[in-house]
């Protein structure tokens, strides 16, 4: 039976100085929060900084069991979050190629590697085993059980056609008015079908930093009006690449004998995201840049930063799976 999507998850386990301090504050501790120098020293893509950011962002989603909702706007936590965000965003800007137009950046997404080399969905389609598909489903739950939620934050910051186009795509993501068709609900059913836990946040402790970064980036872009262009770029990158990847994952699940609920999630995205790709290109990105052409560099950042983080995650997965190892962190 699919777990309810509403209950709040338990706080995760710390992975270092920064995340330990955040979790101590959330659970009633009095340890002083780290100064900005600690954030500057931290690996921007590492477990500690990424878990600290993820934990702080979750206060804006469902929070945590036993954690006071008022801490969502705690000034000290927000100050620390700003330091962590600055460290992460600086790394993204440094490591993401700049220049060119949004149109060119979107075109880059269509250049798939020869033979699918270096692609998670190609690997799973060609030679993936059921245990690897289950691992992939578990770690992607950080994204898909909140699918479309962070992108809603951009809607009040858009106008005209861009706003209407964004809402049209989001309407489909949230089931077009049918609760049973909300994409997060479909993903919970996929998890159940694969014998996994469908509770929100259930796999945070087992998810590596590379997946945390994918989740934290969309929250970072979504929560700040200043990054609305980057959020639209991220959303466009997801929708443009979703349909072909979903087709491969649906076929991989069929080949490995997964049930109909697991297949349905990706089959739904093959058709829906083919339509969404065109809507995002022509009714979100294009009108946004017509209205605010100065945001083009930010849109490009959102597109290419998405590729950067997804490539880092793919490298983690294929390196582990190629050696026959789990790509997840050890459970407690």
Please tell us whether the domain made up of 101-322 is placed in CATH 1.20.910.10: yes
pLDDT band at 117 (very low <50, low <70, confident <90, very high): confident
Three-state SS for 327?
A: coil
CA distance 169 to 275: 9
Contact residues for 330 (Cβ-Cβ < 8 A; gap 6+): 206
Give 165-171 contacts, CB < 8 A, sequence gap 24+.
165/279, 165/280, 165/282, 165/283, 165/284, 165/287, 166/232, 166/235, 166/284, 168/279, 168/283, 169/235, 169/239, 169/276, 169/279, 169/280, 169/284
Q: How far is CA 194 from the centre of its chain?
A: 21
pLDDT for res 76: 96
Triad 142, 240, 89: Cα angle to 5°:
55
According to the model, what pLDDT value does residue 270 have? 81
pTM of the model: 0.94
* High-pLDDT (> 90) share of the chain, %: 84
Residue 224 tokens, joined: 């700040």
Q: Categorize the per-residue pLDDT at 78 as very low, low, confident or very high, splitting at 50, 70 and 90.
A: very high
Split at pLDDT 50, 70, 90, the class of 100 is: very high
Domain-wise residue ranges, the chain: 17-94, 101-322
pLDDT at 2: 54
Mean pLDDT of 102-123: 87
Cα–Cα distances (Å) from 58 to 81, 185, 204, 224, in that order, read 12, 19, 11, 15
81-98 pLDDT, tens digit per residue, is: 999 999 999 999 999 999
131-188 pLDDT, tens digit per residue, is: 999 999 999 999 999 989 999 999 999 999 999 999 999 998 899 999 999 999 999 9
* pLDDT-based confidence at residue 6 (cuts at 50, 70, 90): low
């Amino acid at each position: 039976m699919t777990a309810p999507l509403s209950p709040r998850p338990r706080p995760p386990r710390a992975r270092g100085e920064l995340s330990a301090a955040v979790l101590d504050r959330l659970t009633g501790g009095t340890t002083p929060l780290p100064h900005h120098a600690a954030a500057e020293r931290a690996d921007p893509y590492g477990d500690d900084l990424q878990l600290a950011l993820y934990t702080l962002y979750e206060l804006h989603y469902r929070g945590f069991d036993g954690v006071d909702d008022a801490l969502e706007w705690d000034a000290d936590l927000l100050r620390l979050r700003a330091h962590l965000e600055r460290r992460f965003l600086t790394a993204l800007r440094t490591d993401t190629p700049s220049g060119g137009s949004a149109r060119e950046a979107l075109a880059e997404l269509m250049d798939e590697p020869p033979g699918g080399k270096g692609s998670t969905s190609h690997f799973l389609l060609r030679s993936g085993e059921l245990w690897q598909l289950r691992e992939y489903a578990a770690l992607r739950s950080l994204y898909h059980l909140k699918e479309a939620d962070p992108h809603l934050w951009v809607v009040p910051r858009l106008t005209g056609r861009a706003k209407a186009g964004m809402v049209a795509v989001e309407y489909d993501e949230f089931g077009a008015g049918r609760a049973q068709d909300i994409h997060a609900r479909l993903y919970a059913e996929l998890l159940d079908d694969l014998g996994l836990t469908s509770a929100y946040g259930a796999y945070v402790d087992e998810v590596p930093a590379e997946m945390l970064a994918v989740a934290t980036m969309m929250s970072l872009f979504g929560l700040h009006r200043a990054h609305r262009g980057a959020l639209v770029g991220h959303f466009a990158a997801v929708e443009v690449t979703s349909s072909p990847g979903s087709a491969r994952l649906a076929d991989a699940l069929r080949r490995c004998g997964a049930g109909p609920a697991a297949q349905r999630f990706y089959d739904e995205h093959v058709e829906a995201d083919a339509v969404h790709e065109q809507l995002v290109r022509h009714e979100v990105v294009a009108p946004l840049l017509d209205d605010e052409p100065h945001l083009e560099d930010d849109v490009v950042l959102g597109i290419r930063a998405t590729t950067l983080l997804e490539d880092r995650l793919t490298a983690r997965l294929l390196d582990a799976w190629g050696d026959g190892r789990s790509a997840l962190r050890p459970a407690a």
